[in-house]
Structure formats: structure tokens, C-alpha cells
Structure 1
Amino acid sequence: MADLFAGFEPAPAPDTHPENAPLADRLRPRTLDEVVGQDHITGPEGAIGRMVAAGRLSSVILWGPPGTGKTTIARLLADAVDLRFVAISAVFSGVAELKKAFAEARDHAKIGKRTLLFVDEIHRFNRAQQDGFLPYVEDGTVTLVGATTENPSFELNAALLSRAQVLILERLGRGALDLLLERAEAVMERPLPLTPPAKDALIASADGDGRFLLNQAETLFSVNLADPLDPAGLSAFLQRRVAVYDKDREGHYNLISALHKSIRGSDPQAALYYLARMLTAGEEPLFLLRRLTRAAVEDIGLADPQALVQCIAAKDTYDFLGSPEGELAIAQACVYLATAPKSNAVYKAQKAAWKSAKETGSLMPPPSIRNAPTKLMRDIGYGKGYAYDHDSEDAFSGSDYWPEEMSPETFYTPTERGFEKRLSERLAYWDERRTRRS
């Protein structure tokens, strides 16, 4: 059940859970010691543990996936250091609600009661709204605890980040999710109607989200089943969980980075995994094909020229077949790239050549290879002395094609891998003849 708050009344004590409350609320921890999966920040040596031990809380940003305890930790923090707890959601609140919260916090401060202001989805406030927090955080009117599922360095103002400590919550592991189910079974006073393999499947489906897991468990507790469900029965009983994936957010860039680097690292199994993660989460296949094509020219290049051909063929195949049949062509291109010999020699050569071009400005080519379409140009020497390579031995004149003000430079140096080994031999062949004829 989502923790969304539209008002500003202090929250009820964490140990008051009505019998008809959702299971996730009934199991909400009463102390920081009961929070699962976040010992690295809530334990005695963690940042929150140290703050509570000192009795002094600084402003923090809790960054982590859904269902990892951000709201719960904020509530327990207020209780642990005796602060008034006020919660708002950036989804439902605007400037007027923030001004009201700050004014009430100031009034309570006058009678000696400080306020912990919890802002859920804080990244949804725009930059100007985030700036509005600064004076109230600086003068101690509120202790800010913000919660976000997005990378704070992308979504929050630098000024706000400089006044708050970012604490990272981890996706709940198997042990933490097991413990949540044990607590649920204790509260319900009966085991989940699942076989052990089905219980494993339920935990895997949660994808580290404790709230989702408890909501699914509550659904299972709500029905009377004659026999425990096996994995197939569980899959039929519960709706399939949609992958958590925001195509314009950090998760998108993390996965595409992982795909590209797995290809570069010649690991086709990992590359296929990340490709599947993105496709099953709804990523645009053409976006993935563009990145695969980029990998073909950046990380493989002329070590295997067929890599680029495979990517273009996969794009054409996907255009022709669509999903899901065309996705097989994308997978084939992905595997081809990951298993191909690697070279970034062309990529490095392009960077070096572009840099040299910018530094040398508008130097003219030597007169012998300048274009000479008019008599005037020919009269002033354009094209004079040009050696037509096909008239030379081996179709190679050995001429100097560089601007007269420049010495020849070397941008492209092929590797000894794949097709580039043959290119290296060709370059050596031309260099030897160029030296001999000069």
C-alpha cells in the first residue's frame, strides 16, 4: 500500500494498527530495529543509527526503490528523536501546502516542538519549489527527510543536496523478504497456502519490493484454498507483475549502459539478459537497435565489419516482422556483437582526426590534389603534378596528400584482432612502398 499523504496532521503512533488495516500497515515496524534489509543505515554503525544515538537528526534524502521502507524509516526517526512528524506528497502538494507546513512548523517551534517534514517523491517538486525548502532547512524550522526513487544528483538542486545527507536504501534481499513473510504468517496465525517452490517464486516476483510482497501475501491469505498452490497455480492465481522500468529515468540509463558494457566485455549471456530486461519492460526496439549499432562501430569496428551489417539487417528484419518475431533478429545481433573480436581503433582514430581538424583550422590541401574545374585554377597550379594512382605500379603512387604546413599524422592504428590483423598487414605494405618511393 502506497504511503501518500495529503494533509499535515501528525501521524498516529506506529503501534496503533486496526485489525482491518492492510497487512503492510499492520506489519509496519514499531522501532528502527524492526526495519528489515537496511542495516547498513539503521544499524548502530549506520548513519541513522548514529544520529539516533546522538539524539540529533540532520536533514536527509532517502534514495531507494519502491517498497524498501523509506516512509517507515522517516516515521520512526521522528519518534526516536521526539520530533513532530508531518508528511506530504509532492504528487498532491504545491507551494500553498508547503507554506502552510512551514508556518505550522514555526508555530510549533515557538513552544519547543521541532518538526520532521517528510516529503515523499521529493524529486517531483520543480527546481523553484525545491529552492523554497532552503531557508526553512537552514534556520532549523524543519528537519527535512525527502524520499525519492530517482537519482538525487539528477533530480534535486545542488543547493538542497548540499544541506542534506543522501542515504541509499537497498532493494530487499531474499533474507529480508523471507522475514517479512514469516511476520505475515505470525500475524495471520497460519502459513501461506503455497508449496516451498511457489513461495520461492512469490519472493522472486517481488523484485526486492517488500510492500508488493505483502500485498500479494494478503491476497493469498484472503482466500480459502483446499491445497497449497504450486508455482504454476500461483502464476495463474496472481496477476503477472509488470517490470519496474522508467524509460526516461535512471533505470533506463543503467540498463542500456549494462547492455553496452556487456557487449564490450564479450559476455553474450549478460548482454542477452539486459536486452531481455529492457524489451520485456517495454523499451522501444528501435532504441535498442540504435545502441547495438553504436556498439558495432565503437567497440568492434573493422575487427569484424560484419557486425555493422548484422545490426542493419536486424533493423530491417524488425521493420519487416515487428514484435515479437522481429525481436529474435535483435537478439541475434546482440549475440553477434558480444562474440565478435573487439577493437575501438576506428573510434579512437575518429576522435584524434576530429581534434586535429579543429586545431589546424582551414589549411589547404597540397595544390596537386586540389579541384581544378576551371582554366584559371589550372593556370595557378591546381591539380598540377597529380599522380593518378592507377597509372602507377601496384596502383599506388606514394604521393603526399597532407597540407604543406602539416606533417603526416597517424590516427588509425589497427589491432591484431579479427579482420584488423589483415588491415594492419595492408597498411604496413603501403607504408613500405611509400617509404621506398619517397
Structure 2
Amino acid sequence: MADLFDTDPKPTTPGAPRPLADRLRPRALSEVIGQDQVLSPEGPLGAMLAAGSLSSLILWGPPGVGKTTIARLLADQTDLAFVQISAIFTGVPDLKKVFESAKIRRQNGQGTLLFVDEIHRFNKAQQDGFLPYMEDGTILLVGATTENPSFELNAALLSRSQVIVLERLSLADLERLAQRAEKELGRALPLNGEARDAMLEMADGDGRALLNLIEQVAAWRVERPLGREELAKRLMRRAARYDKSGDEHYNLISALHKSVRGSDPDAALYWFARMLEGGEDPRFLARRLTRMAVEDIGLADPQAQAICIDAWQTYERLGSPEGELALANAVVYLALAPKSNGVYAAYKAARASARETGSLMPPRHILNAPTRLMKEIGYGSGYNYDHDAEDGFSGQDYFPEGMKRPVFYMPPERGFERELRKRIDYFAKLRARRQGG
């Protein structure tokens, strides 16, 4: 049976072909592309290595940014035995063997860097199993995950580790990697400038994906450099990374919401389209657009909510793909509508005040008095019927007796709320006059 645990890489059989990604694997941390923010002397990993105090780590980042490579090089630089496992294929009995082997190494004077790929796949009990071995120094844990650690990993595990955020590779990073690959291959890729740019875009920030694409392109025998369209015919575009229930889902809906709030229709349409291309349920988007209308626009444009509901109903009647256009109309409308959270802020303030004041009774003059006893103790006494008052406004106090009158709703001078501001000021003046009189 094959060994489940990958320790230091075994030598390749002479003459056996090696994938380009393996041949270009960095041999030093200084050769890692695109992660200077963590590997530079000022970065967290650079500072740890300089101080000689490497702690357990969680490497969080998208695929193909160097998580495995960095873990292996950290082991090399700190003279630790490198052991790699995958949470997908490793069970509790396997983990026990790993820990026992690490104990033996420690007794012989060598530490172990245990690299756990896809660590978020372990359940709570399995994650808890690492803790005693991390605490007594049997292992130095380096976990790799593409998911948000704060959602997927136990608080106990996170408290004993430092989360290192690795970034997707930029187009400039990918170009450096492509040049390194051409040097290894000994020839330039048969692509013109536009096609080369298209290939980098296809990689979508994933260095491993780029090297796989380069390996395919380098194998072609062509008489002249290929253009963008010719490249597109030969290569399938890589699907965008999107997990409808994971971190990307929350990242993109946050980007859409903030673009609408920021009154940027182009950015809002882009993130809306990104979510649709990733397979998001349009009904979820319709619900979130309606939430944006009531939370970020409110009474600054009372039509916004109706626009969203109409778009939602239109989608339900038309279905996909035509119905998405109705939602796109709502996206643009919301982005260009005047913004206000006046009612939202007022609602939260009113809820807080309601919690603080407990069970204060309404003032007696606005209580109904259907029985004689209730009338005798003053229910309804002194109530002024507003329609009988001058200007249809009595100016009475409707808050509990003894409670200082608060101000919750303060509409901004935007959109329709300009008119509401005038009404509030008008009634405030009348109230002061009536109560003063």
C-alpha cells in the first residue's frame, strides 16, 4: 500500500518527464512570485524567520498562489522534517501515525513541520486533535485553505496559529512566471502580444493553472505566432472560481452591495454579472437588491423598493436568461438613486430605546377606554382629536409619561427626503407652539 504521507520529495526516475510546474518549483523563498507582502523582511513570515521564531500558521489564499511551496521552503529554512497530508484523504488513524512519527523525530532531536492541505475539510473533532501536539511542540502546524478560516476553523486552532493571507497573482506576477517558464523551455511561446495577454487572463490569478496552459501552448507546432481568437479556439477558458455557499459568495455580494451604495452603476453591473456567471441563483440577487433599496435608499427614493419588487416578479414570470435583464435594470436604478439610511438608522435607534425603557405605559390620554372603570382612572382623558385641531395637528406628546422626547429620524437633504425634512421641521414648530401655548 502506498504511503499516505508525503515527506521530502523522492528523486524522480532518470528520464521520466516532469511537469513544468514541478520543474519550476522555487528552491528558495526569494524565488516565490507574488507574495512579497508576507515574505519580505517587513512581512510576517520574513520577520518570523529573521527572529528564528516560526509559529504555527494558516495559509489562506486562492488556488495556485504557492501555499504548498511556501510550507516546504519554510521547513527547509528551519531544518524541520516536512510532512504533507491532505484533509480529504486522511482520517483519525492516519493522523495518529503522523503524530507518533513526529514524537519519534522529536526524541531524536528533529522537529516536524506538518503541512495540512485543505485543512478546513477536517471536522471539529479532527481539528481539536492537533491542539495537544501543537502545544507541546511535537509539530509545527502549517494549514492551507481556500476558505475563510474564521468561518471554517475552530477558534481554539486559530488562537494557536497566525493566519497568513496569500494573494492571487497579478497579471505582472503571471508574466514573470511565464518568462521563467520560457527560460526553462528554452524558447518563446508561439503567441502574439494580445494572445499572450489572453492566456494570462485565462489563468485567473492561478500560477499552477498558467503553467499548465503554457505547457499546452509550448507543445503546439505552428508556423507563426497565434492571435487571441486562434488561442481561444485551441484553449477552453478556465471557469471563474465561485463557491455559492462559501467565501467568494460573500465577497462578491459585498462588492455588489457596496458598489450600489457607492452609486457606481458600472461596478455594480460587473459584480452582478460575476455572480450570475458563477451560477448564483437570481432569486438570491433579487432579494438582496430589495434589501439594498430599503436599507441604503429608503425614503430618499420611495420608488426604489417597488422597482426591485417589480424586477423580482418579472424574473419569476420570464425566467432565465431574459429575466436577469429586469434585475439588471434594478441594479442600475439603485446605483443611481439618491442614498439615505435615515429610516434604517432611526429604526435601530428606536429598537435600542425600546429595549432600554422596558415596559413604560403609553400616556393615558391616548389609551382607549371601553369600560367605565378605565374612564374613571383617566384612560382617554384629555386626548385631542387631530382632525379637529388647527392644521390637522394637535401637537400632543405620544411618548410615555416622564420620558424625554427623543429624535430618531433625521432625514438627510437628499432626494424625496428633502420634502420629509421640511415636514418634520414644520411639525416641530407647530408642536413647540401648541405645547408652549
TM-score (norm 1): 0.91
Q: Give 2:357's match in structure 1, choosing from 356, 360, 364.
A: 360
Match of 1:34 in 2: 31
> 1:428–1:89: structure 2 CA closer, same or farther, 3 Å change rule?
same
Residue 411 of structure 2 aligns to which amino acid in structure 1?
P
Paired residue for 1:220? 217
Q: Is residue 2:117 matched to residue 1:143?
A: no
Q: Which residue of 2 aligns with 1:320?
A: 317
The aligned residue for residue 408 of structure 1 is 405
**Aligned equivalent of 1:157:** 154
C-alpha separation in 2, matches of 1:429 and 1:101: 76
1:249 paired to 2:246 = yes
**Paired residue for 1:351?**
348
Q: Which among 56, 59, 69 is matched to residue 59 of structure 1? A: 56
- Percent identity of equivalent pairs: 63
Q: Does 1:121 align with 2:131?
A: no
| 1:436 aligned residue | 433
- Say if 2:6 and 2:85, in contact at 8 Å, map to a contact too: no
Of 155, 175, 192, which residue of structure 2 is paired with 1:178? 175
For the aligned residue pairs, the C-alpha RMSD in angstroms reads 2.5
Say whether the 8 Å CA contact 1:17–1:26 is kept in structure 2: no
Please show how residues 31-430 of structure 1 align to structure 2 within 5 Å: 31-52=28-49, 57-373=54-370, 377=374, 381-430=378-427
Counterpart Cα distance in 2 of 1:175 and 1:16: 35
**TM-score, length of structure 2 as denominator length:** 0.91
Matched letter for residue 185 of structure 2: M
* Distance across 1 between alignment mates of 2:54 and 2:341: 50
Deviates more, 1:18-27 or 1:63-72: 18-27
CA contact (8 A) 1:255 1:274 kept: yes
Structure 2 CA distance for aligned equivalents of residues 48 and 165 of structure 1: 10
**Conservation of the 8 A alpha-carbon contact between 1:14 and 1:29:** no
In the alignment of these two chains, the number of paired residues is 434
Deviations 1:314-347 (A, max 9, x none): 1112112222222222222122222211211111
Instruction: Extract unaligned runs of 5+ from structure 2.
Output: none
Q: Alpha-carbon deviations, 1:245-285, whole Å to 9, x = none?
A: 12222222222222222222222222222222222111222
CA contact (8 A) 1:363 1:405 kept: no
1:351 and 1:40 mapped to 2: Cα distance?
40
How far apart in 2 are the matches of 1:317 and 1:109?
66
More moved, 69-78 vs 108-117: 108-117
Query: Residues 277 and 18 of structure 1: is their aligned pair in 2 closer, same or farther, counting only changes over 3 Å?
Result: farther
- Judging changes above 3 Å, is the alpha-carbon distance between structure 1 residues 46 and 354 closer, same or farther for their aligned structure 2 residues? closer
Give distance in 2, aligned partners of 1:206 and 1:276: 19
* Residue type at the aligned position of 1:203: L
For residues 17 and 393 of structure 1, what CA distance do their matches in structure 2 show? 101
One-letter amino acid of the structure 2 residue matched with residue 75 of structure 1: R
TM superposition shift of 1:94: 1.4
Amino acid at match of 2:29: L
Contact 2:119/2:145 (<8 A) preserved: yes
Quick one: structure 1 residues 134 and 426, their matched pair in 2 at CA, closer, same or farther if it must change by over 3 Å?
same
Unaligned runs of 5+ in 1: none
